[in-house]
Amino acid sequence: MRVLTVNRTPYEKGAHQGGDETQRKMLRQHLPPDVEVIHCHDVDWRREQFQLVHAFNIILQEADQAAQIAKERGVPLVIQTIHSPGIFFISRERCAEIALQARFLFINIHREPFELAYDLGLPADVLEAKSIWIPTGAPADWYLAQPDYGVVPHEPYVILAARYEDRKAQDKFLQAMVDADLKFPIYCIGDCRHPVYARCEQIAEGRPWIHLMGARPHSEIMHWFAGAAVSVLPTHYDNPGLTNLEAGITGCEVVTTDIPAIQEYLGDYAHYGRAGYPETHVVATRTAWEVAMSRWPRRNESLARHIRDNFTWKRAGKLLYDAYQKAL
């Protein structure tokens, strides 16, 4: 089986890769050897043979490209929807056409077909019938990982590790922490090219407990989570946010937002704030810090075990392989 994958991010993007690229690479690594995955950025697809086109993120221009490739070659199209309600980078009408063209939609939250149907003006039962659940995962070998103190600080800290963008609202959270006069050590890790990161740098100026680390290789992120007491993702929308799973499987206390997509994965194991109200994430962070310190250096084994048992890339890879076979 040969599969062409299409997404917005070049295969080698180093420390700046986003969640969709991490997801694509992790799934690729956990497929059996009889599946050969080629990526549109690595090859001239016009010269390649493949039996299936797999697009990542239905709202992007690259989904349109993938749909055209599949149609031209006469092969099935499957889409990892990665849907953010109300957001489109191609026309709503074209997005609806692509959804109908796809043989299957690979969803990672169970309500996604209904949200997508609402956004696209399509019958929910049609999208539900072609949806296959493939969860977002975390690396199984990150389970209760030990930090490398040659890389990370010895003292416990709060970590904000994710792509820095308006939707994730890290700057609003940092300002709310400053306003609340909470001086927990905070380490900010992520793509430093976005204006949100620049605003975080401004907030950190003259406040030595806030550390701006820039982008770090994904292989190093495990150690940052493993050494942290609390991970915070004050996002307006994620489904469910790689940061939450990667931090949680190391035993970090997780603070995030009380939206259904995240709660489907984390349930009562996480601490929640409300989207758009950073002061609620501050309150949740204070609580999470107290919980973590009450047993430090022991970790949140219940959360780590929950993610290990339900949401790993190994499990997602097996489900993806089954879905590929079904698509063909």
Show the 3-state SS of the chain: CEEEEECCCCCCCHHHCCHHHHHHHHHHHCCCCCCEEEECCCCCHHHCCCCEEEEECCCCHHHHHHHHHHHHHCCCEEEECCCCCCCCCCCHHHHHHHHHHCCEEEECCCCHHHHHHHHHCCCHHHHHHCEEECCCCECHHHCCCCCCCCCCCCCCCEEEECCCCHHHCHHHHHHHHHHCCCCCCEEEECCCCCHHHHHHHHHHCCCCCEEEEECCCHHHHHHHHHHCCEEECCCCCCCCCHHHHHHHHCCCEEEEECCHHHHHHHHHHCEEEECCEHHHHHHHHHHHHHHHHHHCCCCCHHHHHHHHHHCEHHHHHHHHHHHHHHHC
User: So what's the pLDDT on residue 255?
Assistant: 98
pLDDT digits (tens, 9 = 90+) for 86-106: 777 888 899 999 999 999 999
The token pair that represents 32 in the structure block: 């059996």
Q: According to the model, what pLDDT value does residue 96 have?
A: 93
Does domain 2-137+312-327 bear CATH number 3.40.50.2000? yes
**144 contacts 301 by C-beta, under 8 angstroms:** yes
> Cα–Cα distance between 65 and 263 in angstroms, integer?
33
Q: Are 82 and 56 in contact (CB under 8 A)?
A: yes
Domain locations in the chain?
2-137+312-327, 140-310
pLDDT at residue 313 in the model: 96
What tens digit of pLDDT does each residue of 38-49 get?
998 888 989 999
CATH of 140-310, one of 3.40.50.2000, 3.30.1300.10, 2.40.30.10, 3.90.1150.110: 3.40.50.2000
Distance CA 52, CA 76 (A): 5
pLDDT of residue 14: 46
- pLDDT for residue 118 is more than 70: yes
- pTM, two decimals, is 0.92
Q: What is the mean pLDDT of residues 304-326?
A: 97
pLDDT reading at 11 higher than 50: no
pLDDT value at residue 9? 61
Q: Is 21 a residue whose pLDDT tops 60?
A: yes
- Residue 228 to residue 41: CA distance in whole angstroms: 35
Q: What is the pLDDT of residue 318?
A: 97
| One fold for 2-137+312-327 and 140-310 | yes
Q: What is the pLDDT of residues 211-222, one digit of tens each?
A: 999 999 888 999
Of 21-30, 130-139, 229-238, 317-326, minimum mean pLDDT range = 21-30
The answer to whether residue 15 scores a pLDDT higher than 70 is no
Neighbours of 53 (CB within 10 A): 28
Q: Is 14 or 134 the better-scoring residue by pLDDT?
A: 134
Q: Is the pLDDT of residue 122 over 60?
A: yes
Neighbours of 153 (CB within 10 A): 14
